[in-house]
Amino acid sequence: MSLTALINIAGDGLAAQTAALDATSQNVANVNTPGYSRVTANLETTSTGDTYSGSVVASGVISSFDQFTFGNVLSEQGLGGAADSRSQALSNVENVIAPSGGTIADSVNTFFGSLTALATSPSDPSTRATVLQDATSLAQNISGTAAGLSTERASLLAQAQGVATQVNGQLSQMAALNGQIAAESAGGNQPTDLENQRDALASSLSTEIGAQVINGPSGYTLLSSNTALVSGSSASSVSVGLGSTGDLQIMATSTGGAAQDITSGVTQGTLGGIVEARDQDIPSLSSQLDQFAYNLSTSVNAVYSTGYGLDGVTGRNLFAAPSAVAGAAYSMAVDPSVVGQPDQLAASGSAADVPGGNSVAVALAALASQPLAGGQPPAQAFGAIAANIGNALSSAQSESQLRASTVTQAQNLNQSQSGVSLDQEMTNMTQFQNAYQASSKVLQTAESLLEELMADVGPAS
């Protein structure tokens, strides 16, 4: 092997180990960067033209990105995002149904307690006023709870629209990165920084709306809700509104294309959890509350309307008669015929028993322990509704905890394949530094020998 070839080999070695050290330094600098995939210098052996020699060169860097483990992270994050948002929504709903300041069940017990007092003192003005006040409080508590559930649905609509705005920004960024990466790659560059940024966006999108990516010639195609939301440098936009039934309607509109309803496919990510809580959990709870209000009002009115007030009039209702089950909770109120008129409260079973008759008041008080149409006494009937939301919240919280664990496991697996290990990088750095020093030593020796040779040969005569 000639000294010139040896110098070339040593020079190539220095350049190659420098590239390897640069890649290692980049890894160490990005050890805490979310979405970063470890890179290594692609070292290759090439021929120098001498049959007995070859040199090492660095032909760019190789990313350790693993499509399989990364895809698993996206899947788990989609499920985790849905579980977290549903759990939070149901926690807010439970606070509406069972506030710390007293539940509907408490108001029911207070109301029937005042009716028991009325049965004891049917003509006492103070007792009558208390009954009317407690009936009003009960009706307001029920209607206020129904209004609170409606407010929660409105809040979730606004939250979903905020998520859509964030998602649209990230979709646009990903499409732009696809274009930049394609341009860099066409120019012979390896845009690993841009690719890492794109991976971080995919990760965030999976948490917000659920997503998977396919890496093709034109870059990432991002799939979500059975639809391609990013394809090459083109991105769709997502919008959230209300459909004809009042449920969320989620539309995806591609550039220059028609809007597509993707609501049924949105089951993952924060948006998927919002859809489930808003359009399944809360409506079910509202229906149960409506049925409770309807059964309570009609049961009380059926007995109350047979009684007589101190004015000798019968046939009145205590609560405004609901026209249907749907909306009965929101519209529940004391009947206008007795509002502000304690003397008109019916306690007697006949006009002849006024003012001391109490048979209707006794029958009303007895309703506290009698099953409503739903099968349970009033306080227990509402307790079953509260238990339902409690069970749903407990299940959602358990799901959220489970998903937190599976997300961590998926991230750890991906990290083991693509992430940075400082211990490994320190080992690599020592190895590359030693190789650099060896190449440098060879280069110095070869140059020294070449100088000696040139001195021995001397100038040509």
Query: Is 57 within 8 Å of 43 (Cβ atoms)?
Result: yes
Three-class DSSP category at 324: coil
Give dist(CA 32, CA 335) in Å, integer.
Answer: 65
What angle, rounded to 10 degrees, do the helices at 67-97 and 192-209 form? 30
Which H helix or E strand runs over 38?
none
Q: Are residues 430 and 365 in the same domain?
A: no
Q: Is residue 291 part of a domain?
A: yes
Query: Is 276 within 8 Å of 86 (Cβ atoms)?
Result: yes
Q: Are residues 309 and 392 in the same domain?
A: yes
One-letter amino acid for residue 256 of the chain: G
Q: Are residues 385 and 442 in the same domain?
A: no
Q: Are residues 322 and 372 in the same domain?
A: yes
Q: Are residues 305 and 452 in the same domain?
A: no
Domain range for 42: 3-64+420-457
Q: Which long-range contacts (C-beta less than 8 Å, at least 24 apart) are formed by 39-48?
A: 39/63, 39/64, 39/192, 40/64, 41/16, 43/16, 43/19, 46/12, 48/5, 48/8, 48/9
Q: Are residues 386 and 424 in the same domain?
A: no
Q: Are residues 379 and 283 in the same domain?
A: yes
What angle, rounded to 10 degrees, do the helices at 3-29 and 422-457 form? 160
Give dist(CA 270, CA 78) in Å, integer.
Answer: 8
Task: Evaluate the omega torsion of the peptide bond into residue 371 and state whether it is cis, within 30 degrees of 0.
Answer: no
Q: Is residue 24 part of a domain?
A: yes
Q: Is residue 211 part of a domain?
A: no
Give dist(CA 365, CA 121) in Å, integer.
Answer: 13
Closest C-alpha to 201, from 192, 211, 215, 191: 211
**Which residues face 348 on adjacent strands?**
308
Q: Is residue 52 part of a domain?
A: yes
- With the C-alpha atoms ordered 270, 275, 277, 278, is the resulting torsion angle positive or negative? positive
- With the C-alpha atoms ordered 94, 95, 98, 100, is the resulting torsion angle positive or negative? positive
Q: Are residues 424 and 390 in the same domain?
A: no
Q: Are residues 284 and 385 in the same domain?
A: yes
User: Which two tokens mark 6?
Assistant: 């040896």
Per-residue pLDDT of the chain (461 residues; tens, 9 = 90+): 566 767 777 777 777 777 667 767 766 777 777 667 767 766 777 765 554 456 777 666 666 667 889 999 999 999 999 999 999 999 999 999 999 878 999 999 999 999 999 999 999 999 999 999 999 999 999 999 999 999 999 999 999 999 999 999 999 999 999 999 999 988 888 788 898 899 999 999 999 999 999 988 888 999 999 899 999 999 999 999 999 999 999 999 998 888 999 999 999 999 999 999 999 999 999 999 999 999 999 999 999 999 999 999 999 999 999 999 999 999 999 999 999 999 999 999 999 999 999 999 999 999 999 999 868 999 999 999 999 999 999 999 999 999 999 999 998 898 877 666 676 667 877 887 777 777 788 777 877 777 777 777 766 54
Q: Is residue 87 part of a domain?
A: no
Closest C-alpha to 250, from 156, 142, 383, 369: 156
Q: Are residues 117 and 58 in the same domain?
A: no
Q: Are residues 341 and 436 in the same domain?
A: no
Query: Is 203 within 8 Å of 77 (Cβ atoms)?
Result: yes
One-letter amino acid for residue 40 of the chain: T
One-letter amino acid for residue 445 of the chain: T
Q: Is residue 384 part of a domain?
A: yes
Q: Is residue 34 part of a domain?
A: yes
Q: Is residue 265 part of a domain?
A: no
Query: Is 97 within 8 Å of 386 (Cβ atoms)?
Result: yes
- With the C-alpha atoms ordered 118, 386, 369, 367, is the resulting torsion angle positive or negative? positive
What domain count does the chain have?
2
Q: How far is CA 323 from the centre of its chain?
A: 38
One-letter amino acid for residue 2 of the chain: S
pTM, two decimals, is 0.83
Helices (H) and strands (E) in the chain — how many of each? 10, 9
Q: How many CA atoms lie within 13 A of 246 on its CB side?
A: 8
Q: Are residues 287 and 334 in the same domain?
A: yes
Q: How many CA atoms lie within 13 A of 453 on its CB side?
A: 9
Give dist(CA 171, CA 208) in Å, integer.
Answer: 12
